[in-house]
Amino acid sequence: MKNPFKLFKRKEPLTDTQLLMTITIVIFFIMYLSAVFGLGGGFLHAKQIFDMLNDNSSLIIVACGLTVVMIGGGIDISVGAVTSLVVMSCVLFLNRGGSIIGSILLALGIGLVFGIVQGFLISYLEIQPFIVTLAGLFFARGMTTILSIDPQKSQHEAFNTLRGKKIKISWLGYTAKNGNRIPAQIELGVVVAVIVVILVVILLKYFRLGRNIYAMGGNQQSALMLGINVKRTRFLSYVISGLLSGISGYVFLMHTGAGNATNAAGMEMNAIASAIIGGTLLTGGVGSAVGTFFGTMSLTTINKIVVASGLNEPYWQKITTGGMLCFFILLQSVVLGRRSGKKSSGKIKAFFRRLINSIRKKKKAST
C-alpha cells in the first residue's frame, strides 16, 4: 500500500525559488496580521484587501511579465512606459468611435510590437537589454506625449459601463458608522490579474518554454549545451513581457478611465521592487509569479500601514519602501549566502580584518 503521507513528505530540500517565495509569503502575513492587531480599523475589513487588489491589478500583471524576463537573466524597464502608451492610445481610439474589441486588440498589438522589437534587438542582435529597454522606455514615454499632452477622459459609453461593472460580494462587506452597508467590490481587472498570475505560474512550471527560461537564467552556457535554443527562449521571454504590459495598460484604463501623460510613472521601478521582494533574483534562474504577487501586496501593505499610522507626509512612504527593499535584499543575500556555505557575517568580519591588517602593514612600512 502506498504511504498516504508521501504527498506531504519532502525528500529533497527546498529550492532557492521555493525558499525565497516562502519567506515573502510568511513576512506578508506577519506584516498584515501585525497591522490588524496594531492598527485595527480598516485592516479588519475584507474591503481593505480588495482595495489593494483593485489599485494594483495592473502593477501585478506588469510585475509578472518582468518576473519572466528576470528569471531568464534579463531586465525590461520599458514596461511602465508601454502601459502608459497603451492607456493613452486606447482612450483616444475609444473616443474617436472605436469598438471595445478593437481597443483590446490595439492594446495587445502595441504590447506585442514592443515585445517583439525589443526581444529581437536583445536576443538576435545581442545588444545589452538595459539599453534596448531604456530606449523603449524613452520611445513609449515620448509617443505618449506626442499623442496627447492633455489628460483624456474616456467618453465611450459602452466602455464606461463595462468599466463600472464590479463583482459585489455583500457578505464580506461591513456596515459603516452611519448604518450604510458597504459591500466589498472587485473590479474586472483583478480577475484578469489573477488569471495572468495563474497562467504565468503554469507556463513557468509545466511548459517546456518555462523550464527553458529557468535553465537559461541559471546558466546560459549549460542551457546552450543542453540543446536549448537560447536565442529563441530569450526572445519569447521579452515577447511575453511586452504582451503583459499591453494587458496591464488596458487594465489600468479600466481602473482609471482616463489617459494622462504621467500615467504609471515610476511603475517599472515598483514592478522591479515587487519582483525582488517576491524572491526573484536579477542574476536569473530563481523566482516565481506567486512570489511576485505577494511582493506587490507586501509593498502596498507597507504603504497602507505607513498612512494608517499617521505618517501622512508623502516622503515617509518612499523612505519606508526603500527601507523595506533594503531589508529584503539583505535578507535574501544572507539566506542564499548561508545556504551556499559562505556566511555573510563571516565575510564582513574577514573584510574588516583584511582592511585593518593592510592599514597596519602600511603603518609598519612607513615607520
Partner 1 sequence: MENKRKKFLSGGLGQLTIPLIAIAILVIFNLIRDPGFFGIGISHNNDGNAVLSGNIITIINGASELAILAMGMTIVTAACGGQDISVGAAAAIAGSVFVKVLKSGSSISVGTVLLAFAFSCVVAMIFGAFNGSLVAIFRIQPMIATLILYTCGRSIAYWINGGATPTVDSSIIKAIGGFIPGIPVPTPVFIVLLMAILFKLLFRFTSLELFTQSVGINGAAARLNGINPTLIKLVSFIILGVCVSVSGCIGVSRLGLINHETLLLDIEMDAILAVAIGGNNLGGGKFRISGSIIGAYVIQMLTITLYAMKVPSTDVKAYKAIVIILLVVIGSPVVKARFSKLMARISENWKKATVKGAEE
Shortest reach from residue 111's CB to partner 1, in Å: 17
Shortest reach from residue 248's CB to partner 1, in Å: 20
Shortest reach from residue 314's CB to partner 1, in Å: 8
Give yes or no for a contact between 150 and 92, defined as CB atoms under 8 angstroms apart: no
Shortest reach from residue 292's CB to partner 1, in Å: 15
CA distances from 155 to 7, 98, 152 (A): 54, 11, 9
Compare residues 151 and 322 and give the one whose CB is closer to partner 1: 322
Shortest reach from residue 321's CB to partner 1, in Å: 5
CA 66 to chain centre: 6
Rounded Cα distance, 353 and 335, in Å: 23
Compare residues 198 and 330 and give the one whose CB is closer to partner 1: 330
Look at phi and psi of residue 231 and say left if phi exceeds 0, alpha if psi is from -120 to 50, else beta. alpha
Compare residues 208 and 360 and give the one whose CB is closer to partner 1: 360
CA 37 to chain centre: 28
Q: Residue with C-alpha cell 459585489?
A: 168
Shortest reach from residue 128's CB to partner 1, in Å: 5
Compare residues 21 and 186 and give the one whose CB is closer to partner 1: 21
The residue count for the chain: 367
Q: Residue with C-alpha cell 479600466?
A: 254
Compare residues 12 and 313 and give the one whose CB is closer to partner 1: 313
Shortest reach from residue 7's CB to partner 1, in Å: 36
Shortest reach from residue 203's CB to partner 1, in Å: 24
DSSP 8-state symbol, 96:
T
Rounded Cα distance, 198 and 201, in Å: 5
Shortest reach from residue 38's CB to partner 1, in Å: 23
Q: For the beta carbon of residue 247, count every other beta carbon within 10 angstroms.
A: 25
Compare residues 98 and 337 and give the one whose CB is closer to partner 1: 337
The grid coordinates listed for 152 are: 483624456
Compare residues 93 and 316 and give the one whose CB is closer to partner 1: 316
SS3 assignment, position 54: helix
Paired residues of 278 in beta bridges? none
141-161 in b/e burial notation, b at 16+ Cβ within 10 A? bebbeeeeeeebebebeebee
Residue ranges that bind partner 1, judged by CB under 8 A: 75, 121, 124-128, 130-132, 134-139, 141-143, 145-146, 149, 261, 269, 272-273, 276, 281-283, 313-316, 318-319, 321-323, 325-326, 329-330, 333-334, 337, 344, 347-348, 351, 354-355, 358
Compare residues 149 and 225 and give the one whose CB is closer to partner 1: 149
Rounded Cα distance, 280 and 17, in Å: 8
Find the DSSP H helices in the chain: 16-38, 46-71, 79-95, 100-119, 129-147, 157-164, 188-206, 208-218, 220-225, 230-256, 267-277, 289-308, 314-339, 344-366
Compare residues 125 and 225 and give the one whose CB is closer to partner 1: 125
Shortest reach from residue 245's CB to partner 1, in Å: 16
Paired residues of 169 in beta bridges? 184
